[in-house]
Amino acid sequence: MKFDCLVIGGGPAGANAALVLGRAKLSVLLIDNLDARNKVTHESHGFITNDSLPPQVIKEKGIYDLQKYSSITLREETVLSVKKINDGFHVETNKNVYYTQRLVLASGLKEQLPEIPGITQVYGSHFFNCPFCDGWELKDKQIALITEQPQITHFIAMVSHWSRNLRIYTNGNLLDKNEKQILEERKIPINEEKIHFIYSKDDKIAIHTPNSSLVFQGGFLMPTLTPRINYLKNIPLDLTEFGRISTDSFGKTSYPNIYAAGDIQMIGGEQLVHAASSGSRTASVIVQEIAFEEFDNWF
């Protein structure tokens, strides 16, 4: 099967890209494996008209919108590989093979949580990674911040805007000396011990280390984030210093006719509304390129 555009990833970036492309009379295939990074999140925030809705509900609303267009095809599959062919790209999934002239990468990020017993049980309900998304719900509460990175001042400064009642846990890692001095000057407690385990009780969480056991109302952590691009082993793409796909402001990658949208190419803006905007902007550029090419070929 051949399409004008193929979008990998059905989150807000991919779905919004597919919507704009499909409404431009282009044949569009959207492939999604339903393994969203925010699948553990109970509520999403900061996305106007969708504030406080579960991510799955927002996704279902998006699918409903896309299903109205005959130009858009939806497939629940996993992309295995992408190869360049003469007139476009060969995309293989676990179920089919597709051909497309243009490719939009919107497969998002994979996150690796700190190896702490109990962390997966509280992530998405008590612990979060984005203060813009969940800071309001933890405003002025007693919170913990878990990080295994030596330099964390920027993230702590952001979190402290919502609550200054915080304690830092490094899970056995040592902070950078300058960073530690900054925190000590602001009287922010630091625990550099290994965390034994975390559990939730009565809508609170308890963090246990060898020499302490403290209760918090919630917290934030800094997971390791990497783009989901294993399927691009045959396509050389430039990456940023942060490991994301390098693009210009319109989502164009270093490889002709391959574009990227959403978290896979953004830093510090991992929010649904930003991803949706990115998908829309990138799709608009693709439509303009195709329209200009068609116009030039009138004669």
Q: Supply the mean pLDDT for the chain.
A: 93
Q: Give the three-state DSSP class for 91.
A: strand
Residue reference for tokens 């282009």: 26
Q: Is the CA virtual torsion 203, 159, 190, 140 positive or negative?
A: negative
Q: How far apart are CA 68 and CA 12, in angstroms?
A: 17
**Distance (Å, whole) CA 231 – CA 233:** 6
Please state the rounded mean pLDDT for residues 21-37.
94
Alpha carbon distance 6, 29 (integer Å): 5
pLDDT at 195 over 80: yes
Domains by residue range for the chain, with CATH: 2-111+225-296 (3.50.50.60), 114-221 (3.50.50.60)
Average pLDDT of the segment spanning 121-144: 94
Predicted local confidence at residue 269, as pLDDT: 63
Q: Which amino acid is at 286?
A: I
Q: How confident is the model at residue 268 (pLDDT cuts 50, 70, 90)?
A: low
pTM (predicted TM-score): 0.92
- How confident is the model at residue 150, as a pLDDT? 81
Mean pLDDT of all residues in 36-64:
89
Say how many CA atoms lie within 13 Å of 257 toward its Cβ. Answer: 17
**Per-residue pLDDT, 192:** 95
Q: Helix axis angle, 177-185 relative to 153-162, nearest 10°?
A: 20
